[in-house]
Amino acid sequence: MKSLRFTVYLFLCLSETLMLPAYDFEYHTGNINGSYGQNGYSYTLNITKSNLGTTYDFDTRSGVTSGNPSTMSISVSSGCATGTVHYAEDTPPTANFTMSMHGLLIPPPSGGGETEVRQPSWYGDGNAIVPYRIKSNQNNGAKEIVVPAGTSVTYTAYEGTSPKASNWTVNGETKNNESSIIFNRSWWDVPGWFSASMGTPNPGTYDITAKPTDNAEVSDSGKMIVVGANFTNGNCPGYDDYTNWNKDAIDYYSSSSSRTGRCTLPYFAVQDQGRYNINLNLIPTATISKDVCLEENDISISDLTPETTRTNTRVGFVASSLLFSSEGDITAKLDGTTIATSTVCIYKKKDIKVLFVRVNNQSGAPDYSAFEQAIFSINVDFQTYTKSSVTVKGVTYAINASTIWTRQMLEKLRDDFYSENPNIKNEYNYVQFQVVGSVIRSSVLGMADGIPSRDSWISQNVYLRTYPHELGHCLGLSHRNKYDSPCEHSQCDRDALMCQSTHALDATLLNSTKLRKGEWDALH
């Protein structure tokens, strides 16, 4: 009985084995990577007659899917069979899975002209790979993003729904074996990127690529455009981008390629009841895909145009100095974040009269236009004062081409001039003398009687900036030198009108006549 039972059991097993499907033609495609689209992840298994090694057409009435997943659909034409499966973006597969399908082929006619009854069978499969993808923490995970400078951005690599340790490359720089890279909120001043997190880089375009640490054959990529901006002068009389420079003078005066600082708040001086414009410069300069909104925060600024832009533009406005308001900000915002701010300073025009006195027919031609930056008009009259000598405390000094002037000599010259011209003090706000001689004591190019004062003196053969510089002292402006370190000329505000020539040093700066916002205010 035992032997009979064993025989029956063996027969059933053999019969079961013989009933397993056997296909005439098979194709194994290997790994299948999903494609990502707007609706999620799609996997496709495609089999052609040539893949199967046959010329038989597919029987379009036959063709079914098998294996996993059960949601796989199939379409069959005479030349190929295609199976597809789709996963929603938020529910991707969490492990590799097999895609398979099978069906019948149309056999050729038999020798008698009739089609053979038995149809050949076919089978195909592939190994669908868990999707690998990077996502940002912006715009619902978008990997190609536009963000305002200063935004904290995190990119994370996923295999399925799990974070995946990866090797990252950002514009050629690498960071390895991290599932995420983080761009912090610091910008412009870039610390070492590749520490625990990356400092947000300067505004610009950044190509980001990630590969799984354990599989260099798979990768995904994205792009981050960090948008910054700054305001520069259009047709405003005054422009000050130094006062709020967030580094030091050395950085401000370095070449543009090596600067690490920026002006966080440039100032623009305009005249009351005027229409002006300033330039908005986006970084990067290419047109971006989002609107930058332009806004003002004060009633002193009106008729601001345009309201939005996606590229560099000129921003126009009307300025009005009101009883309680003479300054307002113009801001540029992206996604509600301010990327640039400027302050418009509105002044009512102020006029003064200056008499320029040429001693013994000196040929000085002063240019005081530097003060136009502060909405300040200077009306100049000229007069020649001929005098052969001055007497100080009983000592007479000849006035000629070799005269070296002391302060006492200059004051005596001034007093003699006012004695001979008693109405001058009432007719003019300020008087400037150009004296004969190469220098005023110890190589001094010019001298003001005080800060403030009415009178000043200018030597022969001076820089053009010397005339307005000394008049600036008379108007109440002080030097813009770095007194705590007089030898550090590079730390001085060297292209400012009120920087001494000995501190400006650079020949290209010696005739610079820039005024700063604090000086505009002081002149009013």
Measured CA to CA, the distance from residue 491 to residue 433 in angstroms comes to 32
pLDDT at residue number 483: 58
The pLDDT of residue 113 is: 58
CA distance 405 to 410: 7
Rounded CA separation 493/244 (Å): 12
Distance of alpha carbon 166 from alpha carbon 213, whole angstroms: 5
pLDDT over 80 at 11, yes or no? no
- Residue 309 confidence (pLDDT) above 80: yes
pLDDT at position 189: 38
Q: Which of 351-355, 429-433, 481-485 has the lowest mean pLDDT?
A: 481-485
Q: pLDDT over 70 for what percent of the chain? A: 89
pLDDT, average across residues 405-411: 94
Pairing of strands 292-296, 455-458: unpaired
Q: 42-99 pLDDT, tens per residue?
A: 999 999 999 999 999 999 988 898 877 778 999 999 999 999 999 988 888 988 999 9
Mean pLDDT, the chain, as a whole number? Answer: 87
- Distance between CA 463 and CA 441 in Å, rounded? 17
pLDDT tens-digit map of 456-493: 999 988 889 999 999 999 999 999 887 555 556 678 88
Rounded Cα gap, residues 36 and 218, in angstroms: 14
**Residue 427: is it exposed, middle or buried by C-beta count within 10 angstroms (0-12/13-18/19+)?**
exposed
What is the H or E stretch that residue 412 is in? helix 407-420
pLDDT surpasses 80 at 421? yes
pLDDT band at 173 (very low <50, low <70, confident <90, very high): confident
Which pLDDT belongs to residue 112? 58
pLDDT at 54: 94
pTM, two decimals, is 0.79
d(CA 166, CA 135): 13
What does the H/E/C string look like for 198-212? ECCCCCEEEEEEEEE
Residue 193 pLDDT exceeds 60 = no
Q: Quote the tokens at residue 29.
A: 């495609």
Full DSSP string of 282-320: EES-SPPSSPEEEEE-STTEEEEE-SEESS-EEEEEEE-
Q: Among 155-169, 189-203, 466-480, name the one with the lowest average pLDDT.
A: 189-203
Instruction: Output the pLDDT for position 21.
Output: 64
C-alpha torsion 306→312→314→317, nearest 10: 40
Per mean pLDDT, which range of 245-259, 314-328, 462-476 is the poorest?
A: 245-259
- Cα distance between residue 474 and residue 453, in whole Å: 4
* Residues 456 and 432 sit within 8 Å (Cβ to Cβ): yes
User: 147 CB contacts (<8 Å, ≥6 apart)?
Assistant: 138, 153, 224, 225, 226, 227, 334, 335
**Beta pairing class for 350-359 and 337-347:** unpaired
pLDDT of residue 186: 46
The rounded distance, in Å, linking the Cα atoms of 459 and 473 is 16
d(CA 163, CA 158): 4
- What pLDDT sits at residue 278? 98
Please list, in sequence order, all residues whose beta carbon lies within 8 angstroms of the beta carbon of residue 293, skipping any fewer than 6 positions away: 307, 308, 332, 333, 334
Provide the 8-state DSSP code for 110: -
Query: Has residue 196 got a pLDDT over 70?
Result: no
Radius of gyration of the chain (CA): 41
Q: Which domains does the chain have, with CATH numbers?
A: 23-111+118-130 (2.60.40), 133-226 (2.60.40), 265-347 (2.60.40.3450), 350-522 (3.40.390.10)
| Highest mean pLDDT of the ranges 141-150, 344-353, 361-370 | 344-353
Q: What is the model's pLDDT at position 442?
A: 72
What confidence score (pLDDT) does residue 192 get? 39
What pLDDT score does 428 carry?
A: 97
Give the pLDDT confidence score for residue 199 in this predicted structure: 52
Could you give phi then psi for residue 56, rounded to 5 degrees?
Answer: -65, 140
Arithmetic mean of pLDDT, 121-146: 93
Do the Cβ atoms of 224 and 136 come closer than 8 Å? yes
Looking at per-residue pLDDT, the higher value among 215 and 428 belongs to 428
Q: Mean pLDDT: which of 60-69, 198-207, 411-420 is highest?
A: 411-420
Mean pLDDT of 129-143: 92
